[in-house]
Amino acid sequence: MDMRQGAERADRILDGTLKAIVPPVRWVHGTSISGLCSGSSTTGQVTRQRTVLTIISPERRGNFFGLVERHWKSSGYHITGNDPGKTFPSLYATAPGEYRMSLQIGDKGQAFFDVTTPCLDKASVPDPASDQEAPRLQDGEIPYPNHTSDFWSAKKPLPS
C-alpha cells in the first residue's frame, strides 16, 4: 500500500465516523499532512483531519464521546486511551493496519478528528476526498465552532 491509498483509507475511516454521529454535525476538512518516515527516503505517513464546526456543549460531550467510541469498537477499532478531562477531553484508537485515530475537544467545544497512517510506500497524496459535502479550510485557517445544534449544543445533560 502506498501513501495515496493510505490517505484514501484514512478518509474512509473519518467519513464513517462522521456518518455515525446522529444527529449530524457540521464539519470541514482539516489540514492534510504528509511527510517521510524517520530515517527513510522511500516511505511516508499521512495525517487526515476533520474539524467539527458544531459546538459540543460540556453537558453533551460524554454522549458525543460515547457514540464515537461505540462506533469505533463496532468497526473493529481498538480503543487505546482516553483523557476524560473536563476542559479538553480526548479519545484514542487504532484501526487494523496500524492506523492511529484521535478525537479531541478544543476551545469553545470544538471537536477535532485525526487519522494517521502507518509508514507506507512514498507516493503523491491528493487533497482529501469525501462522499460527504464539506467545505475546505481556506489558507489553513481553522474557524471556531460557529454552528449550534439543538442536541449537541444543549446545556442540559440527557436523562439517564
Name the grid cell of 13.
Answer: 475511516
Q: What is the mean pLDDT of residues 98-117?
A: 96
Which whole-number Å values give the CA distances from 107 to 38, 61, 104, in the listed order? 31, 13, 10
CA–CA separation, 1 and 120 (whole Å): 6
Name the more confident of 144 and 136: 144
DSSP 86: S
pTM above 0.85, yes or no: yes
pLDDT attached to residue 30: 83
DSSP run (H or E) holding 78? strand 78-83
Name the grid cell of 81.
Answer: 486511551
pLDDT attached to residue 86: 84
CA–CA separation, 42 and 24 (whole Å): 39
pLDDT exceeds 70 at position 112: yes
CA 87 to chain centre: 18
Query: Which pLDDT band, with edges at 50, 70 and 90, does 139 fall under?
Result: low
**Among the listed residues 90, 42, 55, the one whose alpha carbon sits nearest the alpha carbon of residue 69:** 90
What is the fold of 3-35+44-121?
Double Stranded RNA Binding Domain (3.30.160)
The answer to whether 94 touches 80, Cβ cutoff 8 Å, is yes
pLDDT attached to residue 37: 92
pLDDT attached to residue 136: 60
pLDDT exceeds 90 at position 160: no
CA–CA separation, 40 and 26 (whole Å): 38
β-pair partners for 35: 45
What residue spans define the domains of the chain? 3-35+44-121
CA–CA separation, 120 and 49 (whole Å): 18
pLDDT exceeds 70 at position 145: yes
Averaged pLDDT score across all residues of the chain: 91
CA 106 to chain centre: 13
pLDDT attached to residue 83: 95
